[in-house]
Structure 1
Amino acid sequence: KLDTQTDKTLDVHLIVDNYATHKHPNVKEWLAKHPRFHLHFTPTSASWVNLVERFFRDITEEQIRRGVFRSVDKLEAAIKQYLEHRNANPKPYQWTATPEAILAKVTRDKEMLGTLH
Structure 2
Amino acid sequence: MLVQNKGEYIRHVGVRLIPGTNNLETDEAEAFKEAVRTNPLDKALVGKEIFFDSEKPDAVISEIKADDALLLIADTFDVDLLNRFHDEEEGSKRPRTTVLKTIENQIASILDPNEDDIVDQEG
Normalization by structure 2: what TM-score?
A: 0.23
Between Structure 1 and Structure 2, which shows a larger proportion of helix residues?
1
Q: Which has the larger radius of gyration?
A: 1
If the length of structure 1 is used for normalisation, what is the TM-score? Answer: 0.23
